[in-house]
Amino acid sequence: MNNILIIDDHLAVAQGTKFILEQESYFKVEIEHNTSKVLEIMSEKEYQVVIIDLHMPELNGIDLANLINQKYDTKIIIYTGYDIGNYFNLLIKSGVVGFVSKTSTAKGLVNAVNAALNNEAIIPVELLRQLRKSSLNVLNKNVNVNLSISDEEQTILIEIEKGATNKEIAQKLYVSQRTIEHRLTNIFQKLNVHSRLEAVSKAKELGIIYNDIPINF
């Protein structure tokens, strides 16, 4: 028997997912909608797979996956209806091993869970193309933007959004403060902005960082 924990603040979606999975006799599924209780729940019972909604009000799926991955040896699958292309590298860094769209078929959902249990991964074809990318490409017709942002630049923008100083960012990335200042200059030029505040605002507008959910590492 494989224990599965679904973490989703949309109860109807979670119950539907539970129903689909429990059609397989070897799955036992539980639901939790409160992200603050997840680590406590997982300390009391072993779960082979954890399915996490990407967008939740208290703690987003990336942060939660990161916390789980630090403490527990379990397979983490992101279950979302949103485009996650720009967050692919962050999700992998957080310990995620699979991705399932909320529009996926029942067979697709079951296949993704079985793959995770077998140390395999099923991911959308559009994300597969990003496996060899070291940067994310931003295309936004609404604001006439076509630019490339590296993983490091994305991390710097995330840290700025969280209020970190250049010194703190440098320590986190194991580089000099001067290097961060140089990177910021490049970021400002790419985004056509003149301040850290403008950079964060533009990054949110373009989908480089979350619009309303902080990401913590």
Per-residue pLDDT tens digits for 84-143: 666 777 788 888 998 888 888 899 899 999 999 999 887 767 666 655 554 555 655 554
Question: What is the predicted pLDDT for the residue at 200?
Answer: 93
Phi-psi region of 151 (alpha: psi -120 to 50; beta: other; left: phi over 0): alpha
What's the rounded Cα separation, in Å, for the pair 69 and 73?
7
Amino acid at 180: I
What pLDDT was estimated at residue 213? 45
Angle between helices 151-161 and 196-206 (to 10 degrees): 120
Measured in whole angstroms, the distance separating CA 65 from the mean position of its chain's CA atoms is: 8
Contact 98, 112 (CB under 8 A): yes
Are 38 and 64 within 8 A, CB to CB?
yes
Encoded tokens for 6: 């679904």
Whether the model clears a pTM of 0.85, i.e. scores above it, the answer is no
Provide the 10 A C-beta neighbour count for residue 105: 10
Residues of the chain with pLDDT under 70: 82-86, 124, 126-146, 210-217
pLDDT at 211: 58
